[in-house]
Structure 1
Amino acid sequence: MSMLPITGMCLSQTNQNDNFDAETFPKFFECWLAEQNQLLRELLDAEKPKTHLTDEQLQALISKVVEHYEYYYKAKSKWTKQDVLSMLSPTWRSSLEEAFLWIGGWRPSMAFQLLYSKCGLQFEAKMNELIQGLRTCDLGDISATQLGQVDEMQRRTIREEREITDVMARHQETVADASMVELSHVVTEMNMAKETKEDGEKKELENKVESTLAPKEEGLEEILLKADDLRMRTLKGIVSILTPKQAIHFLTSAAELHLMVHEWGKKKDARKGNQISPVTQFSDLYASED
């Protein structure tokens, strides 16, 4: 089983000279997906019965996968501070992915649905062993105590998720506040009058537009960072409840779902002629081994 070093290579390749612009993030994202694909191979190897890894070895792989997510959100936060609008409306994601986005990413409560779905599938697949009292050590073998902890965490996460959603709704309403309405009226009148403005007047108006929009963007940045923080805390929280072997199965399912939905969406967009930023293909994921 190969071990991929998480070195920050993607960030260094796409962020030379501190150039955190919207055009460089798709390149970073492509590189990060390629790393996730390689990590998925390691997770799949670790799942195999013939792969006899100790809990310490499994935990090392889990830590590396979690660090890879942390690495993504750390990089994303830097780009967010430079161009929050692009991060909230990512052109490098497919239309399918965009339809399911929650504040620039995956909805935290979805992680629990993923966990429950995988638990059910693995329970059904090994029902006979479980009925006989045999341990399967996967998510079908999750205990009542663990389920109670997951349920408690899910309630907290949903509460936080709703709070952030409400904050976003209130912030979106500010696009129609008095300053925006007044400014849009002034600019419209000038455009309709077709007046030729001096460069100084144009610059003054541009500055006024920027100063009016600035707090709107700052608010969006704060909300997006909170949403990403909740996403990361949710992932780490679920992993902390599971045994090492169970965590491997959960992280495998999370990576599979992320990569496959991305590819399915790309293919749908390609059939419809939609253009998105190029990313790595993963259709041969199970066709070859490292």
Structure 2
Amino acid sequence: MNPASADITPATRIGSMSFTQETLPQSNLLPFSSDQFENWGDSAMVDNSPRTDTSTDVDTDDRNERFDKGKVIIVAPSDSSDRSKEKAGDQKALRRLAQNREAARKSRLRKKAYVQQLENSRLKLTQIEQELQRARQQGIFISSSGDQSHSTGGNGALTFDMEYARWLEEHNRQINELRAAVNAHASDPELRVIVDGVAAHFDEIFRLKGVAAKADVFHMLSGMWKTPAERCFLWLGGFRSSELLKLLADQLEPLTEQQLVGICNLQQSSQQAEDALSQGMEALQQSLAETLAGSLGPSGSSGNVANYMGQMAMAMGKLGTLEDFLRQADKLRQQTLQQMHRILTTRQSARALLAINDYFSRLRALSSLWLARPRE
């Protein structure tokens, strides 16, 4: 071997090309198998074939690789911006949805309040229509033409009718409470509290009638605030105490001898007071008729104007006593109820109040049935 070729590795021929293999440090060598080496040679032969431009392909690939890397570098911040915009859009959409939900909730609340207001208005209108209908049936005239005399009387009567309706509603509630206590066999102290409450509620209606009589005494005396069947048994704007005691006598048995005497005496005294008031009313009506007739001339027309005015003034003065008769009649009714409670025991008083209520309730029911009867 030539010493000059000691550093030169044997040449290897692959195809028509010769390659000189230099001896490299061992640490830089990669383990290639013979197969891999032959394959690498084959690929080199293909690249050097006339149909393939190796240098052009390599440059193109290198440029493409650099371009692709540049694209990645350029696209990366674009993707981050898109994600930021997407997040911002999502937040706006969420805020918009929250605003829509809040607006829908407020709209539902406004709609609910509006419907409730309409319902309240409808109920109030219905109540007013019922009151006006009742006023028309009872002949109450409320003037809207400026006539204050009609307007004052009508408003006073209508006000009392409304107060009486509220009183009756509360009275029915107390009676139901009393009936439940009696059926449940409540103790006497508990029953006494309810009985005293009902008695005090009767005092309230007498007070309301006294105030209403100052505004329209004719309305109170005629009993137009009661049902037609109740008006059939009306006496001076209310019930006859003596007749009511007769009805209760059979409902309160058994009574002791002392209680029987007390009820009989109360009935007689009530009857006497009623007769006296009835005679006074008859005398007033007769005197009033004579006073009005005294101002008539022979032809039935008004005579002297001064005489006419004097007679009418006298008639007005006598009409003023009607309020006194009504007040005395209500005072008699109130005292009769109070005396009855003193005579009877607590449970007997409870039974008496229930019987009185049932009697007047049946009269009201009879009026409703009569008004609703079929007509030919």
Q: What is the TM-score of this pair, normalised by structure 2?
A: 0.54
The answer as to whether partners of 1:21 and 1:83 remain within 8 angstroms in 2 is yes
CA deviation after TM superposition for structure 1 residue 159, in Å: 1.3
Where structure 1 has 5 or more consecutive residues not aligned to the other structure, the ranges are 1-13, 119-138, 192-200, 274-290
Residue 256 of structure 2: which of 120, 135, 143 is its match?
143
Which residue does 1:78 correspond to in 2?
A: 211
Residue 248 of structure 1: which of 350, 360, 371 is its match?
350
Residue 174 of structure 1: which of 271, 275, 287 is its match?
287
- Equivalenced residues, count: 223
CA deviation after TM superposition for structure 1 residue 266, in Å: 3.0
Q: Does 1:36 align with 2:149?
A: no
Amino acid at match of 1:43: L
CA deviation after TM superposition for structure 1 residue 27, in Å: 1.1
Give me the whole-angstrom Cα distance separating, in 2, the residues matched to 1:206 and 1:42. 58
CA deviation after TM superposition for structure 1 residue 267, in Å: 2.7
Residue 183 of structure 1: which of 295, 303, 306 is its match?
295
Give me the whole-angstrom Cα distance separating, in 2, the residues matched to 1:231 and 1:21. 23
Go from structure 1 to structure 2 and tell me whether the alpha carbon gap of 1:83 and 1:185 turns closer, same or farther (over 3 Å shift).
Answer: farther
Give me the whole-angstrom Cα distance separating, in 1, the residues matched to 2:214 and 2:180. 38
CA deviation after TM superposition for structure 1 residue 205, in Å: 10
Where structure 2 has 5 or more consecutive residues not aligned to the other structure, the ranges are 1-130, 132-153
Moved over 4 A (4+): 184-188, 204-210
Which residue does 1:265 correspond to in 2?
A: 367
CA deviation after TM superposition for structure 1 residue 58, in Å: 1.3
The answer as to whether partners of 1:105 and 1:228 remain within 8 angstroms in 2 is yes
Go from structure 1 to structure 2 and tell me whether the alpha carbon gap of 1:115 and 1:267 turns closer, same or farther (over 3 Å shift).
Answer: same
Q: Does 1:225 align with 2:311?
A: no
Which residue does 1:152 correspond to in 2?
A: 265
Amino acid at match of 1:91: M
Amino acid at match of 1:247: S
Give me the whole-angstrom Cα distance separating, in 1, the residues matched to 2:336 and 2:347. 19
Go from structure 1 to structure 2 and tell me whether the alpha carbon gap of 1:187 and 1:101 turns closer, same or farther (over 3 Å shift).
Answer: farther
Which secondary structure state, in structure 1, belongs to the residue aligned with residue 320 of structure 2? helix
Q: Identity rate of aligned residues, in percent?
A: 26
Give me the whole-angstrom Cα distance separating, in 2, the residues matched to 1:39 and 1:209. 50
Amino acid at match of 1:181: A
Which residue does 1:117 correspond to in 2?
A: 250
CA deviation string 1:213-249 (max 9, x = no partner) = 3223211111111111101111111111111011100
Give me the whole-angstrom Cα distance separating, in 2, the residues matched to 1:254 and 1:187. 53
CA deviation after TM superposition for structure 1 residue 210, in Å: 5.8
Give me the whole-angstrom Cα distance separating, in 2, the residues matched to 1:78 and 1:88. 13
Which residue does 2:46 correspond to in 1?
A: none
Which residue does 2:222 correspond to in 1?
A: 89
Go from structure 1 to structure 2 and tell me whether the alpha carbon gap of 1:84 and 1:235 turns closer, same or farther (over 3 Å shift).
Answer: same
Give me the whole-angstrom Cα distance separating, in 1, the residues matched to 2:248 and 2:207. 25
Aligned-pair Cα RMSD in Å: 2.8
CA deviation after TM superposition for structure 1 residue 208, in Å: 6.0
Give me the whole-angstrom Cα distance separating, in 2, the residues matched to 1:221 and 1:238. 26
Q: Looking at both structures, which has the greater relative contact order when contacts are Cα pairs under 8 Å and sequence separation is at least 6?
A: 1
Bigger Cα Rg? 2
CA deviation after TM superposition for structure 1 residue 184, in Å: 4.6
Give me the whole-angstrom Cα distance separating, in 2, the residues matched to 1:227 and 1:64. 22
Give me the whole-angstrom Cα distance separating, in 2, the residues matched to 1:271 and 1:187. 47
Which secondary structure state, in structure 2, belongs to the residue aligned with residue 220 of structure 1? helix
CA deviation after TM superposition for structure 1 residue 100, in Å: 1.0
Residue 60 of structure 1: which of 193, 196, 219 is its match?
193
Give me the whole-angstrom Cα distance separating, in 2, the residues matched to 1:39 and 1:23. 25
The answer as to whether partners of 2:242 and 2:268 remain within 8 angstroms in 1 is no
Which secondary structure state, in structure 2, belongs to the residue aligned with residue 103 of structure 1? coil
CA deviation after TM superposition for structure 1 residue 161, in Å: 1.3
CA deviation string 1:27-75 (max 9, x = no partner) = 1111111111111101211221xx2422221111111101111000001
Q: What is the TM-score of this pair, normalised by structure 1?
A: 0.69
Which residue does 1:135 correspond to in 2?
A: none
